[in-house]
Amino acid sequence: MQQEVNPAPLDAAALTERVLQLLDDLKAKDPVVLDVTEQTSVTDRMVLVTGGSSRQVAALARHLVDELKKEQIHPLSVEGQDASDWVLVDLGDVLVHIMQQEARDYYALEKLWGELAPTAEQVAQG
């Protein structure tokens, strides 16, 4: 009998790329990735995307969670699925915020964290 081997866990950068691919499958809009390693010990990256409606926000979150589970990546928690104007998927090293435009504008997480944290692209450029 062969023992099942769990795949090696993805680092924050690889997990971020996989998250972005999965969210793009369902046409998430305006993706932003913030590197927050210097600002908090809670997570390394934040991914923010916009869904066009509560149904799309819920569908994006469900698709992300379902596909990652197939790859043996299980979220620590998923919050906000009932209202679906803002769903937070906690993947440990990566926090994914899937928001309707109104919530994204109101909470302005890019501004809040962006003033503190460089984007992933800025980190990669040095």
Binned at pLDDT 50, 70 and 90, residue 4 comes out as very low
Is 126 within a domain?
no
- Asked, for residue 37, whether it belongs to a domain, the answer is yes
- Whether 4 is in a domain gets the answer no
The fraction of the chain above a pLDDT of 70, given in percent, is: 83
Domains identified in the chain, total number: 1
Nearest residue to 62 via CA among 105, 107, 98, 9: 98
Give the CATH number for residue 54. 3.30.460.10
Q: Which domain holds residue 114?
A: 12-121
Q: Is residue 46 part of a domain?
A: yes
pLDDT in tens, 51-65: 999 999 999 999 999
Q: Is residue 116's pLDDT more than 70?
A: no
pLDDT over 90 (residue 9): no
Q: Confidence band (pLDDT; 50, 70, 90) for 1?
A: very low
Instruction: Evaluate whether residue 84 is within a structural domain.
Output: yes
pLDDT mean over 16-34: 95
SS3 content of the chain, % helix, strand, coil (to 5): 40, 25, 35
